[in-house]
Amino acid sequence: MTWRDVIRLAARTVRRRPGRAVLTVLAVTLAAALLTALLTISTTAETRVLEQLSSGGPLAGIKVAAAAPDPGQVDQDNAAPGAAKALDDTALTQISDLPDVRDVVPIVSSKVYVITPARDRDNHRIGPFFEDLVGVDLTKVSQLPITPVAGRLPSPGATSEIAVTQGYLERLGLQRVDAPQVVGTPLQMATPQVVDDGGQFRIRGRWVKVTIVGVVAQEAGDGQFLASSEMVQQARDWARAGVNQSRDLQLSTSPYTGLFVVARGIDNVSKVRAQITAIGYSTSAPENLIASVRRYLHVVEIVLSSVGIIALVVAALGISNAMLAAVRERRREIGVLKAIGARDRDVYRVFLLEAGTLGFVGGVLGTIFGWAIAEVVGRVVNGYLAAQRLVGVKLTLPWPVVVGGIVGSTLLALLAGTLPAVRAARLPAREAVGGG
Amino acid sequence: MAAVAGASVEIRDLHHRFASRAGVVTVLDGLDLDVTAGGYVALVGASGAGKSTLLSVIGGLEPAQSGSVVIGGQDLGGLSRTDLATFRRETVGFVFQHFGLLEALTAAENIELACSLARVAPAARRAKVRELLEAVDLADRARHRPVQLSGGERQRVAIARALANGPSLVLADEPTGNLDDASTARVVALLESLPAEHGCTLVLGTHDLAIAERASRRLRLRGGRAVEETAPAAVNAIAGAAPTGPPGQQARR
């Protein structure tokens, strides 16, 4: 009996018992759908992180400091000893030219004196305070560890718009959920300058009115205010135009406060860090955090896969049970097959193919259904992310999941069909005949 | 259709027992049987006399518990399961009371299945199916499933299937048991034509004496043995052999 004949006979026999076939296929479909949906969701989650790691972005970023390394930053800081070295355009060019560097974003900051009209929870006025104003090239914000929480980011080049961090909210006694309350609030900021007034030093300020346009979570630099690099540069220029600036106002002599270096993928972060250290700067990167996140995602994937596989195994047991029942019901038919010359292995192949057909059909339907479930889940997640002003996820159905779902279902069904097929093959040919 | 050489049947001292709740039941008890190649023998007997068991043993569906069974010169006792399958495929054609057609397949496909088991090439098997369906006058029913056929039509399809691989021995077990009179006559006529038209040996088990009387030889299974009921003259005429004992004695032909 050729395989073609076996396949045809198996397919016809499956079709002959549509009720049982549909129920059995349904079990496999649901299991394969569960497996596909779970794997698609977990793979999409991992892909989103890995995408950022592999194609650059905040997670593949390295913070370069002008200052000497901080020994307290164990495990993240590259604690190579050395004197502080200014971060200037030469350093920026040097680092940009490194082979595995995708982009370099300079970061500047300036000390500002802030007057806020806000009141705390007890309705007391918040007194004026000094804080750092961090400036970045806002056209490259996607490369930086900056995430909007409420409102929007300041416009690139704007000199009257700022965003505040959660630290500012805490200063006001607010929670993250209260972030929208501060959006639109005006602030007055003064950049101090030391002037020589007839032999006496006094401080004067350059006052600007700014509006809080958004709340962000940012790790580009230390400071509760984020603005365009142009705005901060103006403040720095004003402060540096004074006298004795570096001592009294602790102004940095470095043109840039720091650099945010984006490596070409997570695998290059260590190498780039070493190269930057060799140039003479201190670096830090969240490599250990990334590794932990990847491990966590991998564990989640294993757990979700296990749930799907358990469901598939249960479905396979259903196939086995249905096939065993079919063998019991079709004893005479099996006997007739043998009476007309079928060998044991012919009968074995027919029953095995029947089980395989159920598994294959269930696998195909389950993969399609699972993708649909993942789509629905993806839309719900994207709705949530949009509400959080975060970028949505793009659902990806990996080919290994498609192939694995279909091939896995088929193989499991074949495995489940082995026992019934063996039993069918071993049935004696006399089953074809009634009692004598 | 090309005629094939019929297979002779030689059975010696065949014993067969079944275990039942009531104890061991002896169905065949030292049965001897000889059927010449191309002969037509009817087995009669009461229900449970062992007709189906004997046909199963002759057709290789069931191994002989003791004694020897030689079909066409081939001793079935020494054959493996695979060899027995080959024997059934190449030598024997079965016709059952319950027709034994696969419900999932059409009439043509049921016949074709037997050919495919013998690995006949697709074109050849399609031609064979057409030829056999025409022979049983069911060419217009080729695409019908068994449930769409009458009992007589199903049995004619079963006969066509039995002839698919040119068997030298056709075994029919109560082939008219589920048929009305008109269908019975047609099926019996078809079966009776096989030895002459196809050259095969026909052994037919039935409890219908009217059918059995039309056979060349009639053997009654009684007490686990086959007893000749055919008139000696008729036996001689059919077998062309020396006369043996009178009706009622153990069959040796």
Cβ neighbors of A199 (< 8 A, separation 6 or more) are none
Predicted local distance difference test score (pLDDT) of residue A53: 57
Q: Which residues of B touch A13 (CB under 8 A)?
A: 102, 104
Q: What's the count of helices (H) and strands (E) in chain B, helices before strands?
A: 8, 10
CB contact A3 to B (< 8 Å)? no
Residues in B whose CB is inside 8 Å of some CB of A read 27, 48-56, 59-62, 81-82, 84-86, 88-90, 92, 94, 96-98, 100-105, 109, 113-114, 116-119, 161-162, 164-165, 173
Model pLDDT, residue A69? 46
Best of A5, A332, A433 to mutate (most B CBs within 10 Å, chain B): A433
Instruction: For A404-426, write each residue's pLDDT tens digit.
Output: 889 988 999 999 999 999 999 99
Residue A97 has pLDDT above 90, yes or no: yes
Which of B81, B84, B161 is facing A340, going by the closest CB pair?
B161
Q: What residue type is B249 in one-letter code?
A: Q
- Contact of A77 with chain B, judged by CB distance below 8 Å, is answered with no
Residue pointed to by tokens 């010696």: B12
Task: Name the minimum distance, in Å, from the CA of A345 to any CA of chain B.
Answer: 9
List, for residues B79-130, the tens digit of each pLDDT value. 999 999 999 999 999 999 888 899 889 999 999 999 999 888 889 999 999 9
CATH number for B9-239: choose from 3.40.50.300, 2.60.40.10, 3.40.50.2300, 3.20.20.70: 3.40.50.300
Share of chain A above pLDDT 70, in %: 88
Those of residues 370-409 in A touching chain B at CB distance below 8 A are: none
* pLDDT band, residue B186 (cuts 50/70/90): confident
| Distances in whole angstroms, Cα of residue A218 to Cα of each of A136, A299, B44, B188 | 11, 28, 99, 95
Q: Rounded to 5 degrees, what are φ and ψ at B196? A: -75, -45
* Alpha helices by DSSP H, A71-165: 89-96
CA B41 to chain A, closest CA, distance in angstroms equals 17
Q: What pLDDT is recorded for position B205?
A: 92
Q: Which residues of A touch B50 (CB under 8 A)?
A: 436
User: For B203-244, how does the pLDDT look when each residue is reduced to its tens digit (9 = 90+)?
Assistant: 999 988 888 888 889 999 988 898 888 654 454 444 443 333
* pLDDT one-digit tens code per residue, A372-391: 988 888 888 888 877 766 66
- DSSP class of residue A214 equals E
Tell me if A198 sits within 8 A of A226, measured CB to CB: no
Residue with tokens 């069974």: B69
Place of tokens 């390394």: A69
Q: Which residues of B touch A9 (CB under 8 A)?
A: 102, 104-105, 113
Query: What average pLDDT does this structure show over A174-203?
Result: 85
Residue A56 has pLDDT above 70, yes or no: no
- A357-386: burial string, b at 16+ Cβ within 10 Å, e else: bbbbbbbbbbbebbbebbeebbeebbeeee
Average of pLDDT values for A16-42? 85
Minimal CA–CA distance to B174: which of B163, B184, B182, B166?
Answer: B184
To the nearest whole angstrom, how far is the Cα of B237 from the nearest Cα of chain A? 31
The answer, for A313 touching chain B at a CB cutoff of 8 Å, is no
Give me the pLDDT at residue A66, please.
67
| Dihedral sign computed on CA atoms, order B53, B58, B63, B69 | positive
Q: Is the dihedral of CA B209, B214, B215, B216 positive or negative?
A: positive
Measured between beta carbons, which residues in chain A are less than 8 angstroms from residue B117? 1, 340-342, 346
Residue from the list A2, A433, A435 with its beta carbon closest to the beta carbon of B96: A433
> What does DSSP assign to residue B59?
T
Contact A406/A357 with Cβ under 8 angstroms? no
Average pLDDT over residues A42-71: 65
Q: Rounded to the nearest 10 degrees, how much is the dihedral formed by the CA atoms of B242, B247, B249, B253?
A: 40
- Chains A, B: CB contacts within 8 A come to 106
Q: Contact B61/A339, CB-based, under 8 Å?
A: yes
pLDDT level of residue A35 (50, 70, 90 thresholds) = confident
B108 chain-A contacts, CB cut-off 8 A: none
Q: Measure the CA–CA gap between A431 and A301, rounded to whole angstroms.
A: 49
Name beta bridge partners: A65.
Answer: A258, A282
Contacts of B100 in chain A (CB under 8 A): 332, 336, 339, 432
Mean pLDDT of chain A: 83
Enter the tokens of residue A381: 């997640």
Nearest by CB: A436 against B48, B81, B116: B48
> Comparing C-alpha atoms, which of B188, B172, B201, B238 is closest to residue B4?
B201
Secondary element (H or E) of residue A370: helix A344-387
Report the chain A residue with the minimal C-alpha distance to residue B91.
Answer: A341
Q: Which residues of A touch B61 (CB under 8 A)?
A: 335, 338-339, 428-430, 432-433
Mutate: best of B76, B90, B103, partner A, most A CBs <10 A: B103
Chain B environment of A348 (Cβ under 8 Å): none
Chain A residues lying within 8 Å of B163, measured CB to CB: none
CB-hemisphere CA count at 13 Å for A187? 33
Say yes or no for a CB contact (<8 Å) between A336 and B55: no
Q: Would you call B85 and A2 a contact, using CB atoms and an 8 Å cutoff? A: no
Does residue A209 have a pLDDT over 90? yes
Work out the average pLDDT over B37-51.
89
* φ and ψ at residue A150, rounded to 5 degrees: -150, 155
Residue B4 — pLDDT band, cuts 50, 70, 90?
A: low
pLDDT tens digits for range A328-380: 888 999 999 999 999 999 999 999 999 998 899 999 999 999 889 888 888 88
* CB-based contact B52 A436, cutoff 8 Å: yes
| Inter-residue contact A208 to A189 (CB < 8 Å) | yes
Q: Closest residue of B to A430, CA-based?
A: B61
User: If residue A233 lies in a helix (H) or strand (E), which one and from where to where?
Assistant: helix A229-240
Structure confidence by residue, pLDDT tens digits, B15-39: 999 888 888 888 899 999 999 988 9
Kindly state the average pLDDT of the residues A151-166: 92
Q: Taking 50 as the threshold, does the pLDDT of residue B165 lie above it?
A: yes
Which chain A residues contact residue B207 at CB under 8 A?
none
CA distance B242 to chain A (A): 32
CA distance B15 to chain A (A): 14
Calculate the dihedral angle through the C-alpha atoms of B46, B50, B52, B53, rounding to the nearest 10 degrees.
170
Cross-chain residue pair B60–A429, CB shorter than 8 Å = yes
What's the mean pLDDT in A105-126? 86
Q: 3-state DSSP call for residue B99?
A: coil
- Banded pLDDT at A72 (limits 50, 70, 90): very low
pLDDT at A19: 84
| pLDDT at A249 exceeding the cut of 70 | no
